[in-house]
Structure 1
Amino acid sequence: MAGVVYTRKERCPELYLLAWDSEITVTNSDMSRCNSYRDILHCNKKPFYLKGREEDSSITDAYIIHSLNHVLKIRDLVTKNDTKLAKHPESADNEILNGDSFLDHGFTRPKVLILLPLRRIALRVVQRLIQLTPSAYKVNVDHIDRFLKEFGTQEVEDDEDELSQQTQGNSKAKKSSKPSDFLELFGGKRDEEDHFMFGIKFTRKSIKLYSDFYSSDVIVASPVRLIAVLIIDHADVIAMQNWSHVNTVVEQLNHIPSKQHGTDVMRIRPWYLDGYAKFYRQSIILGYYSNPDINALFNRHCSNYQGKVKLVCEYKGVLPKVILQVLQIYERFDVDSIADADDARFDYFVKKVFPKIKDSVQGGTMLFISSYFEFVRIRNFLKSQEASFCLLGEYTQPSDISRARLWFFEGRRKIMLYTERAHFYYRYKIRGIQNLIIYSLPERKEFYPEIVNMLDGSHNMSCTVLFSRFDQFRLERIVGTAPSKRMVTSEKGVFVFG
């Protein structure tokens, strides 16, 4: 059924009237891209959680309306065909065999899979889906109380000021020190945020939440066999969790199932039986930014016969958000292939950067590392050098984190390793930094000024950033698109900002 859409004059006009409602901000371009049934990669979607930036709700409303249109259109078609066949049961088999009009089934009922990273985001999307559903289909919304109880927002406990209490003896309650985007994004319990999966079923007059998966029309899950529309929203946040789970899910889509789930095989569309379902699946991937993993998924696993659309943009950079007068020295290391980039970065650090740290008596050096694998590699190297260091990674135990932050602040450890994912999930403010080394640029551009501004209070502050030409995706988000192009192609290898 891919490629066929309603107009405002056809069977389901209420959905398209919604697109022109004054309270809905769907643009013609967003709606037309979704309705084209092409694969879409749009990684400049303005997220709701960033302060000072108006949310780009148009594309969200567009994919929800598009999903509703797809689900309700097929539901109406199946219902109409069921009625026709019920009136003439004796000729049903002949009519199915002799024409395409009754080929309205897939192997299973689910048609739309929406992958979302967090419960708070799932709450927003499902509430919006219910709002946009035509009133005739939502006389009742089953299990809405259970949904709001399980996905409703709760306050995040603030563990940031433990170090302040230890060093300053201040135990008074105070306003959370977490950034506003962190509080907006993680509105619930962190340890339960990214584990959920439930079905949504549309009947003649109701929406059923928590429906059985094989009888559902829409499945909402965090990183399903036959899916006609795949939507991955907030892909950048999912990338901070575990992108390999997304690859696993997408690789399992659109295969011929090993078990039969009550489907009338006489009404299955021929391209599903021929194993071509993946070419008829529309994939819509949305996020705040793109990265090599997201691009690879789009290039390798999105094979829609209608084609694909990739939206790109230019970045202004975030350097003006660094409020300190600190020189930020960008050092480029040369590497011939992306396969050798990690080794080249490590070799550059070992030969050019670490000797300066080792010979320094100052201490207060923080290494910001984007990848956990790089984190482990640097940790093992520092152990081999018997260096004085402490760790703050995404898997570090809370008691070890508190001890590490205190030791670093008091100068009992000269070096701290800090990962991007740890910053994403906890947003610690590290005190005692004198020398900041950004071993690998952060994926999320808003983290760069946050990390550099942690040098506040330092007397001899310095900031060194390592990069290669294969870091241009990250680099352009931080320094701007035009400067990043010059930095990766220039003959000189050192650039200074500040």
Structure 2
Amino acid sequence: MQSSADEDETDPFELHFANPDEDELSNKIKAAQENSWTPQKLSPSADYKMTGQYPGNFTPRHVPGVEGLVDKGFNIKPRLSEASRKLLKKATALEQALFPIIFDNQDLLFGARTPSNADRLRNLVSLHALNHLYKTRDRIIKNNTKLARDKTGSLELRDQGFTRPKVLILTATRSACYKIVQAMLAIASPEQQENKKRFEDAFILDNPIPSDRPADYIDLFAGNNDDEFRVGMKFTRKTVKFFSKFANSDIILASPLGLRRSLTTTDKKGSPPNTDFLSSIEICIVDQADALLMQNWDHLTHIFTHLNALPRNPAGTDFSRVRNWCLNAHSPFLRQTILLAAYLTPDLNALFTAHMRNIAGRVKICPANYPGHLAVPMPIKQTFNRIAAPSPLAAPDTRFAHFCTAIVPALAARSKRASANSSTTAAGTLVCVPSYYDFVRLRNFFATSTAAQNISFGAISEYSSPTQVRQARSHFGTGRFSVLLYSGRAHHFQRYRIRGVRSVVWYGVPDNAVFYGEGLEMVLASVEKGVVGVGEARVRMLFTRWDGLGLERVVGSERVRGMVGEAMGDVFEFV
């Protein structure tokens, strides 16, 4: 390893941030502005599908193991090398594929995050963030010395942005934030930690989750699951300081909600919110992006629209030291964005297209094949109804019309027969609604429409009080409610195991395919208890051809192609 990575012309930091070739930079920025990307298929392993897009010709590097990462071509700072080997030993084929993407400063949308690989992913991105910070800081200190010795005043050294913060890390909960901080501290090994106890008091909470809950739920909600927080971290040679002011911080860690409050809250004098601390972010890491979809996605998109905007009040900025590409408002094209998610969704793909425009390239990774929940034989009839929606924008109205004309009459007829026979056989239809907007629409329909006037129903959403939830579950379990509307976000946050479920109607395709499996388990529990016969138990899902991403995770990669295609029918049944 070279003694000074800052002077190595092959260092990715040098090539991308510190001293890029002006002509090459201009051409790549123009290509990115014109949305002119050259696609390239990459092959990390047979288990994953990787596609890259680059503004021009590019040949990605391959690193043969962790020794290649630390010693060959990626210029890890010497103070981080030993910790790097310990944290990243026995790298998998996937991790070896991720090394050059991350350390070559490319954008990454990773759609295969799991509870089992989460820690190693955190270690990897934490190492990269610290390596970037140390290189930036060492370069600035070195140049300060040069300028102090310069007697002519003609020396021009551009080594920074408008403001100090260089890394932004967004995640879903305080507990997840704490895990990332622990990873960074293990790598950096600072001699002193200022305000550490205050940080631990605010971010550590003993909140055990029952072991029978699914692994993804435990990974997300164990510990302090509060979703409103923000904290700055300042790194010096021997010390890390927590709760530093944003303007003096190197890293900002926050939830989208917590950071947005900073971006929209005025001070006591009524001055506009200060967003300048986001002007010079060079690495943005979003962990558990799929969980953020279940919070308020608008918070995240709002943050991205403010990233790298020119500062409105650049007081204190030494413009003689600001990099040219930063002065030219080209920071969005050099910022590296890393999104880690359990799966890909249209919202994540839209963020990838609109805000991940890195001239070093952008890469998307997801599993090559999904087995789906139909791979395991179930004694339950599973029906998938394809709805002919002409466009994604038309899908909500088309889906609602189909539900009202094809599903509601059957529910009303069963309810009428059961009422006449003083029976509860009509009870037990759980209607799962992934979108809250669709949930509100259905709830209003059941409450006001004459077509549903004979259907007794309850509703559980993420906004339902504990009393409302207990009442709805009790009435549904005893047959007093024949239909229970259940929002996807309520299930995400609570994972209720609802009893008395004889059939499930999926109003739409859940992004998290685990939810579909848990719906099956509720019906199976009713079958095993003799609440419903095997022949009467049923699961039905409504989908459109625009739901391919989520549907693939439910039915499997082999089946989804035929189900969303035009050649086959509109009803698919599996047992």
Q: State the TM-score, normalized to the length of structure 2.
A: 0.77
Counterpart in 1 of 2:496?
A: 428
Find the partner of 2:572 among 486, 495, 498.
495
In the alignment, structure 2 segments of 5+ residues that lack a partner are 1-12, 19-68, 257-277, 416-425
Give the equivalent residue in structure 2 for 1:411: 479
Percent identical among aligned pairs is 34
Structure-2 change in CA distance of 1:400 and 1:301 (3 Å)? same
**Contact 1:25–1:58, Cα closer than 8 Å, also in 2:** no
* Cα deviation 1:60-98 (Å, max 9, x = unaligned): 32221111111000000101111222234x534x212xx
- Cα distance in 2, alignment partners of residues 392 and 323 from structure 1: 30
Q: Can you list the C-alpha shifts for 1:261-285, whole angstroms capped at 9, x where unaligned?
A: 4221211111111111111111111
Cα distance, 1:398–1:111 mapped onto 2, change above 3 Å: same
Q: What residue in structure 2 maps to residue 382 of structure 1?
A: 446
Q: 1:11 to 1:371 in 2, by over 3 A?
A: closer
Cα distance in 2, alignment partners of residues 327 and 280 from structure 1: 51
Q: Given the superposition, is the C-alpha separation of residues 22 and 125 from structure 1 closer, same or farther in structure 2, using an over 3 Å criterion?
A: closer
CA distance in 2, matches of 1:378, 1:446: 23
For residue 219 of structure 1, the aligned residue among 243, 249, 252 is 252
Secondary structure class of the residue paired with 2:320? helix
How much has 1:176 moved relative to structure 2? 7.0
Distance 1:43 1:222 in 2: 20
Q: Which residue among 561, 571, 575 is the counterpart of 1:485?
A: 561
Match of 2:35 in 1: none
Offset of residue 119 of structure 1: 1.2
Cα distance in 2 for partners of 1:422, 1:262 equals 47
Report the alpha carbon displacement of residue 7 of structure 1 after superposing the two structures with TM.
Answer: 7.2
| Structure 2 CA distance for partners of 1:11 and 1:248, relative to 1, 3 Å | closer
CA positional deviation for 1:23: 5.7
Deviation at 1:103, TM superposition (A): 0.4
User: What letter matches 1:328 in structure 2?
Assistant: Q
**Residue identity matched to 1:121:** A
Matched with 1:203 is 236
Deviation at 1:494, TM superposition (A): 1.3
> What is the SS of the residue equivalent to 1:360?
helix
Shift of residue 11 of structure 1? Answer: 8.2
Q: Is the 8 A contact 1:367 1:418 kept in 2?
A: yes
Aligned pair partner of 2:152 in 91, 109, 131 = 91
Map residues 161-310 of structure 1 onto 2, 5 A cutoff.
178-190=213-225, 193-223=226-256, 224-310=278-364
Question: Do 1:24 and 1:58's aligned partners in 2 also have CA atoms closer than 8 Å?
Answer: no
Task: Check conservation: 2:428, 2:479, Cα contact below 8 A.
Answer: yes
The residue that corresponds to 1:373 in the other structure is: 437
Unaligned runs of 5+ in 1: 49-53, 97-101, 159-174
Structure 1 stretch 392-401 or stretch 26-35: which is displaced more?
Answer: 26-35
Using the alignment, how far apart are the partners of 1:301 and 1:24 within structure 2?
33
**Match for 2:191: what amino acid?**
V
Q: 1:169 maps to what in 2?
A: none
1:38 Cα deviation (Å)? 1.5
The answer to whether structure 1 residue 438 and structure 2 residue 506 are counterparts is yes
Query: Hey, what's the Cα distance between the residues in 2 that align with 1:86 and 1:412?
Result: 81
The structure 2 residue matched to 1:19, chosen from 84, 97, 109, is: 84
Q: CA–CA distance in 1 between the matches of 2:202 and 2:378?
A: 43
CA distance in structure 1 between the partners assigned to 2:520 and 2:478 by the alignment: 20
Partner of residue 162, structure 1: none
1:475 aligns with 2:551: yes
SS at match of 1:312: strand
In the alignment, structure 1 residue 461 sits paired with structure 2 residue 521: no
Higher relative contact order (CA 8 A, sep 6+): 1
Note the C-alpha offset of 1:143. 1.7
Give the deviation of 1:320 after TM superposition. Answer: 5.5
TM-score by length of 1: 0.88
Q: CA RMSD in A?
A: 2.2
Kindly indicate whether residue 168 of structure 2 is the aligned counterpart of residue 68 of structure 1. no
Letter paired with 2:78: P
Q: Could you tell me whether the CA contact under 8 Å between 2:174 and 2:224 is conserved in 1?
A: no
Does 2:396 match 1:319?
no
Q: Distance in 2 between matches of 1:415 and 1:409?
A: 10
Name the amino acid aligned to 2:569.
K
Cα displacement (A) at 1:316: 2.7
Q: CA deviation at 1:388?
A: 1.5
Q: 2:83, 2:186 within 8 Å by CA — same for their partners in 1?
A: no
Closer/same/farther in 2, CA of residues 22 and 256 from structure 1, 3 Å limit: closer
Cα offsets for 1:235-281 (capped at 9, x unmatched): 11111111111100011010111112422121111111111111111
SS at match of 1:201: strand
